[in-house]
Amino acid sequence: MITDAQVERWLREDVGHHDVTNQVPGETSGRLVAKESGVVAGLEAATAVFDYLDVAVRDRLAEGTAVEPGDELLRVYGPAREVLRGERVAVNLAGHASGIATRTNAAVERARTESEAVRIAATRKTTPGLRGLEKRAVVAGGGDTHRLDLSHMVMVKDNHIAEMGLEGAVEQFRERTSFATKLDVEVESVDDAPRAAEAGADVVLLDNMSPAETRQAVEALADYEGVLAEASGGITLETVADYAATGVDVISMGSLTHSAPTLDLSFRTGD
């Protein structure tokens, strides 16, 4: 949900304290147009910006729609001053989110060449203040949000294991975790994968392993019913299919959010 407070912050950052540029009289219309191929997202946020300015939005595409150059994503109608005030913020939000959706979709499509079941997930490597926008963009691209914040799942990371040992760390957090909260345990070697499952992990995160090592770890986890295998660490669009072929259940990729280029969009006034 996009709140008025978020929109106010976005507009205040762009408009500043004295807006001369957009002092344009009369009414106008405008169109948000794709300048390159991709998958659209962030249109809910763009609409929230225009709604806040009392600019009417029409003909909005659904999140996750594939577009080609020249396709219209939405149309707006209202006072020229408010249309122009909102357009740059709306374009920036939609372009950023659409870039994430496009990159996610590319990862999903490449993974599907090897596995129909594997999930492509984001991480918490998001832009402060924009996590909701970015996570929704991942979903629009066909991906999984992973945990939205620290409360959604407990992750036992390398630093926890260094302090308490693998079994000790799992026990420490299992005792403090609700029955409804999953425990994801990070391991860095094939041999530690079954150790994590034996200790009580719901998900075993295979960190920075090669595809060959990942396959071995997945095979080692086969005897542990209900335990998911997750591959993570430096996985790219070029290598995601190799990891999908290993049999993992989840591939998490920080690059979906932190390295996605903005989709090139343009806002044009008038019909």
Instruction: Sketch the domain layout of the chain as residue ranges.
Output: 4-108+260-269, 113-258
What digits encode the pLDDT tens for the residues 16-50? 665 555 566 688 999 999 999 999 999 999 999 99
Is-catalytic flag, 135?
no
The pLDDT of residue 23 is 65
For the residues of 104-172, what is the DSSP string, one character each? Answer: HHHHHHHHHTT-SSPEEE--S---TT-HHHHHHHHHHTT-B---SSTTS-EEE-HHHHHHH-HHHHHHH
Which entry of 35, 125, 157, 182 is annotated as an active-site residue? 125
CATH of domain 113-258: 3.20.20.70
The pLDDT of residue 179 is 83
Helices 192-199 and 211-220: angle between axes, nearest 10 degrees: 40
pLDDT by position in tens, the chain (length 271): 788 888 777 877 766 665 555 566 688 999 999 999 999 999 999 999 999 999 999 999 999 999 999 999 999 999 988 898 899 999 999 999 999 999 999 999 999 999 999 999 999 999 988 999 999 999 999 999 998 887 888 888 888 888 888 888 888 888 888 888 899 999 999 999 999 999 999 999 999 999 999 999 999 999 999 999 999 999 999 999 999 999 999 999 999 999 999 999 999 987 6
The pLDDT of residue 19 is 58
The pLDDT of residue 16 is 62
Q: What architecture (CATH level 2) is domain 4-108+260-269?
A: Alpha-Beta Complex (3.90)
